[in-house]
Amino acid sequence: MRKKMTFLFCHRKLDLIKGFLTLLGLFWLLIEVTSFFWEWFNEFSNKNLGLFIFILIVTLLITLKINYPKTEISREFKNLNNTIVKIEIGELLDKEGNIIIGSSDFFDTTTNNTTSIKKQIIDKFFNGAIQSLDSQIETSLNIQNIRGITVSPTEKPVGKRVRYEIGDTAYFSIPSNINIKVFISAICKIVYKGGAKTKEADIKMLTGALEKIWSTIRNNSNNKNIYIPILGAGITGLNMSKTTLCQLIIVSYLINSKNNKIGKSLNIIIPERNYDPEMFNNLEIFIKSFSI
């Protein structure tokens, strides 16, 4: 609430003023026109201060409603098989459909980061059994005939040592909920330099990874809704704003949907803690004006 009100009165005050005066002018015009045709209303409006106060309050409320920061944006692209793009506040793992998450090129699953989506998946759907998740990932990669390259302990001192190509994507269903299928894709490289772990990623890698993800989903799902976080904002360490990453995901999805539909809808899910009214405002402008 505080973020929304701060954005509303600090960043959109000119829109508030313009909207308020415009609506007030329209209401006043309506009163003048009505008074011209009905004399009794003319006398009533001239003597009734309460009517003026009422109009001011209604105008203010409508202006606030119109300009109040949104927590959900959507648009249907009818020229792309009625594909829907939506950005909303919520929790990714509460959704049912095709869920996309990112990974390193080793598909490491061991992590102590409680905000990691992989960690949440392991705890929520696999009761903390990492081996079960690892087994499903390995099985999926084998079924797709995706093979990695084993590296030396010097190149990868800890964790898994089979490196896959950027964009290689495994998928698996959730045992406790058959309506959820998770697609996990390699979107960044892990490199050890002088014993220190570093991550390498760039926009070309992310774009290429997204194209492979869409292809995998198209071939291994049933036109269900697709749910994705702001891919690239977490493990990759990409020096790009969340707004730019969202735009990249949307453009990639729509371009790849042009000739062959990927899913029923693309839903970018943003946790409440990461909500940014200004980002939502910029993305709303982008989505409404985008054409393909």
**Predicted confidence (pLDDT) per residue in 118-160, tens digit:** 888 988 888 888 898 999 999 999 999 999 999 988 888 888 9
Strand (E) or helix (H) holding 44: helix 39-47
pLDDT surpasses 90 at 34: no
pLDDT score for 237: 66
Taking residues 170-196, report their average pLDDT.
88
Distance between CA atoms of 216 and 225, rounded to whole angstroms? Answer: 14
Q: Which residue has the higher pLDDT, 186 or 7?
A: 186
Fold of 72-289: Leucine Aminopeptidase, subunit E; domain 1 (3.40.220)
32 CB-near residues (< 8 Å, 6+ apart): none
With pLDDT > 90 as the criterion, what percentage of the chain qualifies? 40
**Predicted confidence (pLDDT) per residue in 102-115, tens digit:** 999 999 888 777 77
The answer to whether 265 and 83 have CB atoms below 8 angstroms apart is yes
pTM, to two decimals? 0.82
Q: Over 89-110, what HEC string results?
A: ECCHHHCCCEEEEEEECCCCCC
Q: Where are the domains of the chain?
A: 1-67, 72-289
pLDDT score for 182: 95
